[in-house]
Structure 1
Amino acid sequence: MPQPFDATANRQAERLALTFLDRVWQPPHDLDAIDELMTEDYVITSGGQTIRGRDAFKAWVKAFQELLLDARTDNLEVFANPAGDRVVSRWRCSGRNNGMLGTPADGRPIAFSGVAIWTVRDGRLAECWVERSAWELYQQLTTLP
């Protein structure tokens, strides 16, 4: 049976995802925003790894941003399901290589795309599945500049 359309929840879910991308993945990288935007038991699955809990997620984001200097993630498209309890973003992440995927930290500009699918619970992001173009990124990193 189709879900009823809830325009308010739909817009709130989209706004929540955009706020997360803007505050956490754009300079100056406000990691404390994670406390506001994610549930305490937040779970993310990315690159074959599952990170559980807000504090573990903060540490994961910090470590990622240390590997990708000047990291920024720009939303290309966002949409939520009719009930507003799922939201998807297609995005592009860019920065300077500081050892991504175990490669030498050469400072060269890199970029890759990805998709994030979140579950929204009680007005916060509760769970996420991320797929990113890791193969294309690896090719960039292992090709001589």
Structure 2
Amino acid sequence: MSTTPRTSLDGFHATKTAQQADELARAFVAAVSAQDYAAFDTILARNFLSYAVEGVRSRTALKKYYAGLHQSFSDLRFEVHENVGVLVENDLIALRTVVTGTHTGDYAGVPATGKPIQTSVSHIFRFRDDRLVEHWQVMDTYRILVKIGRLPGVAAQFQQLLGVPESPEGIFVEKAGTTFDTPRLGRPATADESRAVGRRLYDGAITTGVAEDVDALAEGYIQNTGWTPDGRSYFGNAWAVGRGAMPDGRAVQAHVVAENDRVASISVWDGTIAAAGTPVDFASADFLRIEDGVAAEHWDTVDYVRLYQSFGLLPQDA
């Protein structure tokens, strides 16, 4: 009997189209790791466009972008975060990737340090006719830049502002989360139910800034990416502080993908930090596992460089 944990390829998807979309996204991730840019021409449509904070990239420009990362980091690998899985809804695919490598070439003006790096990149793709046609990406470059000494580690200062325990070395401690095949109790959630829970979460403390508005979270809520400890009270209290700092701030969900007991979204944030008058301008990607009508578990990828700039913890030219 195999002891390999199940993944989203193992019976999670209800349709053959969704299964093929999962395989297509995985082929893209494998091509990035293998520097197989010829494979891009069969995976990505000729009119493919990729959107990120740095701008819009064509298929050719995306090849150059990943080639540049490989020049900066030897043994660079993008791997599907299997505890999260690959989600498919209609013509959209969502997944989170864990990125590792060794800093052996110039990156952001920093010569090789030989230090290992690890971060996350989250993706939403649109697919058509067995090709990926659009791509939205959120990458946490902050973890890389701190590790190679380009930026100071300020995550603990941010946590001080939120009133939660501080992470060491100025980088949030990340957990893999529960495995995809962990037995669940109760009736399985539908995509519509999962989407509704995600909406309730955003309409709760994230929008109101009221610490008690956390009914969309499980009592034993698991926060895998470390900005707050586990538990919904920490989440609510932190958002009360965060919203107090930017009372006109909004998280606008640009894309949402729900499948079974999972929901993912990419959001853009805007508003103003009231005390300093600085604009809020960053993106985040969130993945939730839904259980018994509430969010039991959360993974995210956040553009922390721009978030910390908004809060005055990093200079604007970082």
Indicate the residue corresponding to 1:128 in structure 2. Answer: 135
CA distance, structure 1, for counterparts of residue 129 and residue 142 of structure 2? 35
Structure-2-length-normalised TM-score: 0.40
1:22-53 CA deviation, whole Å, 9 max, x = no partner? 1x1223x211100000000111123422112x
Q: Computing the radius of gyration over CA atoms, which structure comes out larger, 1 or 2?
A: 2
Stretches (4+) displaced over 3 A: none
Indicate the residue corresponding to 1:16 in structure 2. Answer: 24
CA distance, structure 1, for counterparts of residue 25 and residue 136 of structure 2? 13
Structure-1-length-normalised TM-score: 0.83
SS, match of residue 104 in structure 1: coil
Judging changes above 3 Å, is the alpha-carbon distance between structure 1 residues 46 and 101 closer, same or farther for their aligned structure 2 residues?
farther
Q: For residues 49-88 of structure 1, what are the structure 2 equivalents within 5 Å?
A: 49-52=55-58, 54-76=59-81, 77-81=85-89, 83=90, 85-88=91-94
Indicate the residue corresponding to 1:114 in structure 2. Answer: 121
CA distance, structure 2, for counterparts of residue 108 and residue 45 of structure 1? 29
Q: For residues 91-110 of structure 1, what are the structure 2 equivalents within 5 Å?
A: 91-97=97-103, 98-110=105-117
CA-based RMSD: 1.8
CA distance, structure 1, for counterparts of residue 61 and residue 126 of structure 2? 18
CA distance, structure 2, for counterparts of residue 56 and residue 132 of structure 1? 17
CA distance, structure 2, for counterparts of residue 47 and residue 140 of structure 1? 21
Amino acid corresponding to residue 49 of structure 2 in structure 1: V
Task: Count the aligned residue pairs.
Answer: 134
CA distance, structure 2, for counterparts of residue 11 and residue 43 of structure 1? 23
Q: Which has the higher contact order (CA 8 A, sep 6+)?
A: 1
CA distance, structure 1, for counterparts of residue 117 and residue 19 of structure 2? 32
| Identical-residue share of aligned pairs (%) | 23
The structure that is helix-richer by fraction is 1
| Structure 1, gaps ≥5 residues long | none
CA distance, structure 2, for counterparts of residue 120 and residue 56 of structure 1? 19
| Structure 2, gaps ≥5 residues long | 1-12, 153-318
CA distance, structure 2, for counterparts of residue 90 and residue 125 of structure 1? 16
SS, match of residue 148 in structure 2: helix
Amino acid corresponding to residue 78 of structure 1 in structure 2: V
CA distance, structure 2, for counterparts of residue 61 and residue 49 of structure 1? 15
SS, match of residue 119 in structure 1: strand
